[in-house]
Copies of this chain bind each other. A is one copy, B any other.
């Protein structure tokens, strides 16, 4: 499984991803699912991937090849962010189409999902969820985040904390808490955890990789467990009416 999330707020973009892959519970692997493009002049992109590993690698390899070989359309040449998403979605479809439906072994799916976000020049930064079909959408300001993979465990905290005015550091912290809740509940989501923070105004990016024993991640986990317990204990107790008693054995 996989869990990746990203948020777009006024100050920029935040991406968080896990690194566990599995092909059955006894075949675990560690692969980065965060693919930054930080060396293109005047532009920044990051791609997060979920789904078939062969497809996601093929897509990322093609994106790099198109830049390296000066293809007519590449992440280095597209003029608008939505055109970049369209281009990535098209490559996603192309890589899956190498394995036509009629030739697929039973149970095999080459499908892959992506989160793709970035900024070109001074145009607004944004974020897209790109489906296996190649189509994509950007999140709403009411819930300015996108998740792929194992989404449910980590969604409530995002719903409660994130808004478009949330500072980048807070967004990043919320993303790590969301990731931690997911790892706790689904063993197929695991470290290292990667974090990318992109500050839109000045175009700076920070890429962090937290391994399992990272001191901050452990501190965050302990604090969150303790703070949650306190938050719960402060809740108003239930007022219970008079109970019904069990009938006496006849």
Contact = CB atoms under 8 A, between A and B. Distances in A.
A244 B205 contact: yes
The count of identical subunits is 2
A137 B241 CA distance: 32
Contacts of A244: 38, 204-207
Given A41-B249, A246-B42, A227 B223 contact: no
A133 interface: no
Interface string A211-242: 00000100110011101111110111111110
Given A219-B236, A246-B43, A159 B177 contact: no
A68 to B, nearest CB: 16
A157 to B, nearest CB: 7
A220 to B, nearest CB: 6
Contact of A121 (B153, B249, B250): B249
A138 interface: no
A231 B224 contact: yes
Contact of A206 (B204, B235, B241): B241
Contacts of A220: 235-236
A38 B243 CA distance: 11
Interface stretch (A20-28, A83-91, A166-174): A166-174
B203 A185 contact: no
Contact of A216 (B203, B228, B239): B239
- Chain A's interface size range is 35 or more
A181 interface: yes
A42 B159 contact: no
A62 interface: no
Contacts of A177: 232, 235
A232 B174 contact: yes
Contacts of A54: none
10 contacts: A42-B248, A152-B153, A199-B243, A203-B245, A205-B244, A206-B241, A219-B236, A220-B235, A223-B234, A228-B228
Interface of A: 38-44, 121, 152-153, 155-157, 159-161, 169, 172-174, 176-177, 181, 184-185, 195, 197, 199, 202-208, 216, 219-220, 223-225, 227-232, 234-241, 243-250
Shortest Cβ-Cβ A-B pairs, 10 listed: A42-B249, A203-B246, A152-B152, A227-B231, A204-B243, A231-B231, A206-B243, A41-B247, A41-B250, A156-B181
